[in-house]
Structure 1
């Protein structure tokens, strides 16, 4: 098949799939319905480290997790969630929340949408050395 036909077919096909998924509601971010959902999301990644405290963001798209081994965060990656410890993280305030730079090649940067109150409080909790 000539490239002049193949390339547009591939581009239109991918665009069609993206539009279809969006129309079916499959493009929205995962939402943590309650603290129990955030705990389950954390435990999927770190089953041996149960959370001692969970703080949900106002929009329920992220959760700050405290454990006996330090603080972590749960956030959406599409319709699923992922979690990381915050050891070695650099936390920066942005206009709509926080940017967390991690020494982790699998998740080098996390953008958290937080309201002003959360964006002021969370860095303090993320950096606490006296976590339970």
Structure 2
């Protein structure tokens, strides 16, 4: 098969699959509620005991309080990513907050917390972590 035909088939196939997934709704960010956040956290860390969960107003991230300390859960496409809040830096921006982990697998997370949410997420009990 000539290379230019093969190239057209490969590019067309990738574009078709991408369009099909988008039309099926698989490109939307997952929205979380408390029960979804707890189930997702326990899927990532089955040995943790969840004590409390704060879901952001945009429903794309959650602060999870466990016996091992706080953790962050966020939407990544149609799935979630979870990290314990150890060894990170927190940058508070005007419209977005950034958490930088010392982990090449999840180097940076951008949160969109409202002014009302920030004090709840960065509560006095969590000051040592932020």
| TM-score bracket for this pair, using the shorter chain length | 0.7 to 0.9
Q: Deviations over 1:70-105 (max 9, x none)?
A: 111111121111211110111123454222111112
1:38 and 2:41 are equivalent in the alignment: no
Query: Where does structure 2 lack aligned partners over 5 or more consecutive residues?
Result: none
Distance 2:122 2:10 in 1: 44
Partner of 1:99: 98
CA RMSD of aligned residues (A): 2.2
Partner of 1:28: 28
Q: For residue 124 of structure 1, report the CA deviation from its aligned partner.
A: 4.8
Partner of 1:67: 66
Structure possessing the higher relative contact order (Cα contacts under 8 Å, 6 or more residues apart):
1
3-state SS in 1 of match to 2:49: coil
Query: Where does structure 1 lack aligned partners over 5 or more consecutive residues?
Result: none
- The worse-fitting range, judged by mean Cα deviation, of 5-14 and 72-81 is 5-14
Structure 2 length normalisation: TM-score?
0.85
Partner of 1:81: 80
**Inter-CA distance 72–126: structure 2 relative to 1 (3 Å threshold):** farther
Structure 1 length normalisation: TM-score?
0.84
